[in-house]
Chains A and B, each alone.
Chain A
Amino acid sequence: MTAVAKSTAHSVVEASPRVKAFAGTVVILYAVIAILPLLWIAATAFKSQSDAIAYPPKVLFEPTLEGYVNLFTVRTRQTREFIAGLPAATTWYDKLVRKHDMVIAGPSKVVPRFINSLVIGFGSTFLAVLLGTLAAYAFSRFRIPLADDLLFFILSTRMMPPVAVAIPIYLMYRQLNLTDTKIGMILLYTAVNVSLAVWLLKGFIDEIPREYEEAALVDGYTRLQALRKVVLPQAVTGIAATAIFCLIFSWNEYAFAVLLTSGDAQTMPPFIPFIIGEGGQDWPAVAAATTLFVIPIVLFTIVLRKHLLRGITFGAVRK
């Protein structure tokens, strides 16, 4: 919206109150319906096993932390007599589990999987942003032969279907002993993210006026000093936004993770669907894992709001 439109309250482009009310109603209705599935999952996480599979589906229920307890623990079913013979349960989660004739046998794999997601996510984000910043700076400020072709090449690596990329990567990693390792996944995600990072950061750096650097160079700074002390501080917002986009990609990625990892380096997305209870998927636990997994994304979306458009179009659309 331009300043003109705001200053003239009766501008022809300003919608009438009736149009606004209609538009608002439809959009809010859509938003509420669209967000319901997510709210349902968040609620399912607090349901008991029987409430989660009740028919008709329960909207009102007595909240319990069973789903979260089940997510973080491995339990075994025991006889009443055996449980009675155990020393009294001291913690609230022990008590919760024993109500169902179960005993906690140990922690589940969810924490290691969560840590894998964090390590691989942050590792690949750091590398992609580091490489991306350097390359974007070079593309933005120097005359590089065939720059457009190189940039297109960088982008085109994203057009391969992930399953297709995974075939030779699987063979290569087998030779290099990188299958199911965090390093292997970090390298792969870095390669995928670096194309996004270069394109986004080039846009951000293009917007920083060259005059500042030129002044710094005249003052006796070297190129590298000018980059570090003049350009980078001004690109901080862009770098942060790019980093969040890379992090979200690595966090959400499934195809490579499911095809190339099975244990040591498995991240959350291939793990969540296989949280199994007695007799199939343990829905409250799956919902609990989904909720915990999605919360950071919701926060990031709010933080990124202003840069979302750039991120999802590889910087093609800026405002």
Chain B
Amino acid sequence: MTAIIHSDTPVDRIAAPARVQVARRVRGLSDRAIAWLFVAPTIALLLAINIFPLIWMIRLSFTSLNLSMSYLPLRFVGLDNYSDILTDEDLWTRLQTTASFVISSVAFEVVIGFGLALLINRQFRSHSFWTTIILLPMMLSPAVVGNFWTLLFQPQIGPFNYVVGLLTGIAPSSFSMTGEVALAPWTIVLVDTWMWAPYVMLICLAGLRSIPDYIYEAAEVDRASSWRQFWSITLPMTMPFLMLAVLFRAIENFKMFDMVNLLTSGGPGSTTELVSITLKRAAFEKWRTGYSSALAIILFVTVFGAANIYVKALNRVKQR
């Protein structure tokens, strides 16, 4: 913020003709008024659509409200919902399912995305065309992606099993990617990686391009091996970008609902039932609004807390 644009600074008073001063007083608003006028609608909308409902939900989380029995009077049950959730072993299993989904999908995305970025950064001919092709999956609707992969994974008619059959000799109809307890958790990781490895790639590419050439030139003068250059220059200098990508992906996958809901809808059994799907069932199928409000708040606090810790770590890496 430079001083010049503040109407009350001496510079402005000297520079602007008197006419402007009058005009501004008559037609214009003060900068301060404009600032608030411009920010207010956004804040008001977020208060109405995000914060007010959040506060309402906090209140509901202390009640036993069930929308399928909404004729019952609203009864406050204190922390019962919270203690129910935290002592529910099934729910801890759901959280474990979610955690292993987040960890494995992000790990694959980082390895593939970073690998692709390193290769694309070699600037071979037509690399920007192929980069755009690779980016397409992440722009699609996760729900639509989940839906069409169910076709690709059909044991009989789907091309995925057929190709696996051709490559390995296993009979295509002998396994079901979405229907088997052993395979389904990997299936959602596979589709998520297909969709989001390009995301990590794009961010890593920006990191690689931010490294100035002269550092590599100096390393070359010092006869550092390319292995050494990778560990001492490329990786540390791309690290903040990589960690940013991991942060965004981890938050998004912790909240994952749409793609998995359509691909496996949590099944078979509950092997791929991520915590968002549990929440949806509690809130919109069993209509246990009080209970699911408490669960929603626990999830929000978890994401928020984890993200804050992570951002602190990210800043520490940046400072190095």
Contacts and interface: CB of A to CB of B under 8 A. Distances in A.
Nearest to B32: A142
B209 interface: yes
Nearest to B59: A168
Q: Is the interface of A mostly helix, strand, loop or mixed?
A: helix
Contacts of A254: 141-143, 257-258, 261-262
Contact of A144 (B39, B136, B194, B198): B39
Interface stretch (B75-83, B102-110, B126-134, B175-183): B126-134
Interface residues of A, number: 110
B15 A218 contact: yes
Interface string A153-174: 1101101111111111111100
B120 A27 contact: yes
Interface residues of B, number: 111
Nearest to B212: A2
B279 interface: yes
B34 interface: yes
A19 B226 CA distance: 13
A150 to B, nearest CB: 7
A135 B39 contact: yes
B16 interface: yes
A23 to B, nearest CB: 4
Given A161-B255, A163-B280, A56 B162 contact: yes
Interface string B92-133: 000000000000000000000000100110111111101011
A231 interface: no
Interface stretch (A66-74, A77-85, A98-106, A285-293): A285-293
Nearest to B1: A143
Interface centre among A27, A270, A290, A294 (most CB of B within 10 A): A27
Contact of B244 (A35, A224, A316): A316
Interface in B170-218: 172-173, 194, 198-199, 202-203, 206, 209, 212-213, 216-217
A13 to B, nearest CB: 5
A227 B4 CA distance: 16
B54 to A, nearest CB: 7
Contacts, number: 305
A252 B203 contact: no
A159 B147 contact: no
Given A222-B27, A252-B140, A301-B135, A163 B46 contact: no
B171 to A, nearest CB: 11
Contacts of A19: 122
A118 interface: no
Interface of A: 1-2, 4-5, 11-15, 19-21, 23-24, 26-28, 30-31, 34-35, 37-38, 40-41, 44, 52-57, 131-132, 134-135, 137-139, 141-144, 150, 153-154, 156-157, 159-172, 187-188, 190-191, 194-195, 198, 210, 213-214, 217-218, 220, 222-224, 248, 251-255, 258-259, 269-270, 272-273, 281, 283, 286-287, 290, 293-294, 297-298, 300-302, 305, 308-309, 312-313, 316-317, 319
Top 8 nearest A-B pairs (CB, nearest first) are A168-B53, A164-B296, A254-B143, A252-B141, A24-B124, A222-B28, A191-B49, A138-B38
Given A143-B1, A171-B60, 20 more contacts: A2-B212, A12-B220, A15-B122, A15-B123, A23-B120, A27-B130, A134-B39, A142-B31, A142-B34, A161-B255, A161-B296, A163-B280, A168-B56, A170-B283, A286-B147, A294-B140, A308-B202, A309-B202, A313-B203, A316-B244
